[in-house]
Amino acid sequence: MKQEIITIRTKETAARIQASEVAAVRVKDITKKGVRVYRDGLIGVAGTVGDTPEDVLLEQAAQNLQAGIKYPYPLTQNLRDHRCLNEAPMSSQELLEQAESVLNTLRKDYPDFSFSESIASTEQIVQMRNSEGLDLEYRDAHFALMLMLKEKATANLFDGAVFCLTRSFDQEKFWSFNRPFLEAYRNKVELPEGDVLPVFMWDHDVLLYFLARQLHGERFAKGSSLFSGKLGEQLFSEKVTIDVNRDPALRPMTFFDTEGVVLPGNRLPVIENGRLAAVLTDKRTAETYGLAHTGAASGDYDDPPTIDGPLGSLLAFRADSQNIAGVLQGRPAILALLCSGGDFTADGSFATPVQVSFLFDGERIVGKLPEFAVRSHITKMLGEDYIGTFEDTNLYFGELVRQVQGYYMTIVR
């Protein structure tokens, strides 16, 4: 009987912030373990949170074989790959010192705002091993400052956010961006004229999750994706390349999928220069539908591998453009900070309210805009209205949030 074990250990210290003060400190140290056994083309699983002995889990997984869940695919084997992305995780003490220091400055220099939520340091160790020689380990640690900003003069739940996601927190860099950014919150400006304006977004998760649904290998094969039958076709602007990207240098995530697959060079294009090059598959989907295997297996630590998961987090655009100001050539643009609740319809129409945004000249954040909404369509956003995906901009939300993406969008005032 072949065996496979996944262990996830998460250690966290979080300063919980209320009204710009540390109201609480939370420490967490939790280990989750999943065990899989394979016999006669079947898979059995078991899992625990905490410290259940491995032999007990193996016995439970062996009993789970009776469910008859088929998994006749070869296990990933003879691969050892250990990676540590952060050799010097921030200690609890340093975290609290950094938090107090940031909050002191916020209280002193920005008394018209109130800040809440958290400043946290998280360490994660993920191991995946099997009886066939697979031995993968991902160690990482990151610092996450996520503060909701409330203008004391308003009755909104909140009016914006200040955030930073990085492996190494550099206060000087943080303040050199956030001082003018916080000043921009104080400068209320009007939306520029025009029905269609350039809109830049740092968070394009809604777009990635919509794309992931269309790139889902099974949906593609069954005809229920917008992209079904279009393999090899030009879908978007030639500038657009989207990868299954498991490079942990870009964001804190494992470099392997839940079948232990490591992509060569950590990435594989699914949209290449606007053309549909591949879809998202695990071993089962690739074999069942005769599709290329793209290492996109998902599932929880105690699940059999599956293609049904939050696949949007696997996708990443390649940076294709530089110098936003050069592209704008003096035209005003919008930097959308918080767009909550919007969505795509099944045919690709997109709309979202833009709750927090700023007037932006490509380099400088000028002032805060009133709320409005935007409208577009997937083929326009990544086609004729696509401006580009930028890195190395003057914006700084931490080393792990590097991209800004721009599109021309219809403004709904």
Partner 1 sequence: MFIFPQGLYVDVRLEESETTEIRFKQRTLQGQKVRRIKGALIRVFDGQRWYYSSTTDLENLQAQIDSLAQMAAPNPGISEHPLVREFEVNRETLLRYQQKSVGDVPLEEKKALLEKILRKITDPAVVNHTSYYVDNRTVKSFYSSLGADLTFDRQICGMRFALDIVFGEKRDQMVVSKAATTFDELRGFKEFFLEEMAKDVAYVRDAEPVVPGEYQVLLSPEATGVFTHESFGHKSESDFMVGDETMKAEWALGKRIGRDLLTIIDDSSETGSGYTPFDDEGTRGRKTEIISAGILTGRLHSTATAVALGEEPTGNARAVSFEFEPIVRMTTTYIDRGDRPLKDILAEMEEGIFVDTIKHGSGMSTFTLAPARAYKIENGKITKPLRISVITGNVFTTLQEVDALSQEFRLGSFVGGGCGKMEQYPLPVGFGGPYTRVRKLQVQ
Could you tell me which stretch among 296-304, 314-322, 386-394, 397-405 binds partner 1 (CB under 8 A)?
A: 296-304
Strand duo 404-412 + 267-272: pairing:
unpaired
The single residue among 130, 245, 294, 352 that binds partner 1, judged by CB under 8 A, is 352
d(Cα 334, Cα 198) in Å, to the nearest integer?
6
Among 2, 39, 41, 49, binds partner 1 (CB under 8 A): 49
Distance CA 386, CA 205 (A): 16
Phi then psi dihedrals of residue 149, to 5 deg: -100, 130
Q: Does 344 bind partner 1 (CB under 8 A)?
A: yes
Cβ atoms 2, 110 nearer than 8 A:
no
Question: Is residue 141 within the footprint of partner 1 (CB under 8 A)?
Answer: no
Instruction: Pick the piece of the chain touching partner 1 (CB under 8 A) from 21-29, 81-89, 237-245, 397-405.
Output: 21-29
Binding track, positions 233-272, relative to partner 1; x by CB under 8 A: ----------------------------------------
Instruction: Report if residue 51 touches partner 1, rule: CB under 8 A.
Output: yes
Shortest separation between residue 243's beta carbon and partner 1, angstroms:
24
DSSP string covering 285-336, please? HHHHHT-------B--TTS--BS-S-GGGGEEEPP-B--HHHHHTT--EEEE
Closest CB to partner 1 among residues 50, 264: 50
Q: How far apart are CA 392 and CA 320, in angstroms?
A: 11
Contact between 31 and partner 1 per CB under 8 A? yes
- Residue 92's Cβ-side half-sphere holds a number of Cα atoms within 13 Å equal to 9
Tokens in use for 138?
A: 């991902």
Residue tagged 């005032």 (tokens) = 413
**Given 350, 358, 360, 390, the residue binding partner 1 (CB under 8 A):** 350
Q: Does 303 bind partner 1 (CB under 8 A)?
A: yes
Residue number with CB closer to partner 1 (303 or 320) = 303
Shortest distance in whole angstroms from residue 209 CB to partner 1: 11
Q: Which of residues 55-114 bind partner 1 (CB under 8 A)?
A: 64, 67-70, 114
Question: Which residue in 1, 2, 23, 326 binds partner 1 (CB under 8 A)?
Answer: 23
- DSSP character at residue 97: H
Binding residue (CB under 8 A) for partner 1 from 87, 157, 190, 290:
157
- The stretch near partner 1 (CB under 8 A) out of 289-297, 323-331, 341-349, 381-389 is 341-349
Contact 284, 257 (CB under 8 A): no
- The distance of closest approach from Cβ of residue 346 to partner 1 in the complex, given in angstroms and rounded to an integer, is 4
Please report, in angstroms and rounded to a whole number, the separation of the first and last CA atoms in the chain: 63
Site size toward partner 1, by CB under 8 A: 71
Rounded CA-CA distance 257/267 in Å is 12
Is residue 412 at the binding interface for partner 1, with CB under 8 A as the rule? yes
Burial of 378 (0-12, 13-18, 19+ CB in 10 A): buried
Angle, vertex CA 7, rays to CA 252 and CA 399, nearest 5: 10
Stretch that binds partner 1, among 167-175, 214-222, 251-259, 327-335 (CB under 8 A): 214-222
Taking CB under 8 A as the rule, does residue 186 contact partner 1? no
Output the smallest distance, CB 253 to partner 1, in A: 17
The answer to whether residue 225 forms part of the interface with partner 1 (CB under 8 A) is yes
Q: Are strands 404-412 and 372-377 parallel, antiparallel or unpaired?
A: antiparallel
Establish if 16 lies at the interface with partner 1 (CB under 8 A): yes
- Does residue 283 interact with partner 1 by CB under 8 A? no
19 binds partner 1 (CB under 8 A): yes
Give whichever of 83 and 230 is closer to partner 1, judged by the CB atom: 230
Residues counted in the chain: 413
DSSP H/E element including 384: none
* CA-closest candidate to residue 207, choices 395, 409, 413: 409
- State the nearest-atom distance from the C-beta of 329 to partner 1, in Å: 30
Asked if 371 interacts with partner 1 (CB under 8 A), we say yes
Question: How many CA atoms, within 13 angstroms, populate the side-chain half-sphere of residue 138?
Answer: 22
Question: Which residue, 97 or 238, is less far from partner 1 as judged by CB?
Answer: 97
Contact between 18 and partner 1 per CB under 8 A: yes
Token pair in block for residue 67? 């469910």
